[in-house]
Amino acid sequence: MYAVVKTGGKQYRVEQGQRLRVERLGAADEVVELKPIMVVDGDNVLATPAQLAGSKVSARVIEEVRGPKINAFTYKNKSNNRRRWGHRQTYSSIEITSITKG
């Protein structure tokens, strides 16, 4: 059994016990509920909103990790206009604990 969930503007195919890194969700050791887009159990595929009414995917936040540093530099020629900036995204490492059908 697996499900496709949407979180942080992205979609992930998840199974029970799987660990993955998603955009920041919550504090460590917190249980979060993810809304499934599709649930597949063998030959049964649940994809319509009526079929997915009671289904949910539970996950436990293991830790918060930070991605690689992205450095950027912009400038405009002949005007001494220079700008240096950086960004480092924060992610949540989660483990899927259960997938329930509706």
Residue 27 has what pLDDT? 83
Q: Which residues contact 56 (CB under 8 A, 6 or more apart)?
A: 33, 34, 35, 36, 100
The domain total for the chain is: 1
Residue 28 has what pLDDT? 83
Residue 68 has what pLDDT? 97
Residue 26 has what pLDDT? 80
34 contacts 59 by C-beta, under 8 angstroms = yes
16 contacts 99 by C-beta, under 8 angstroms = yes
Q: For every one of its 102 residues, what pLDDT tens digit does the chain have, with 9 covering 90 and above?
A: 999 999 999 999 999 999 999 999 888 889 999 999 999 998 999 999 999 998 999 999 999 999 999 999 999 999 999 999 999 999 999 999 999 987
Q: Which domain holds residue 64?
A: 2-100
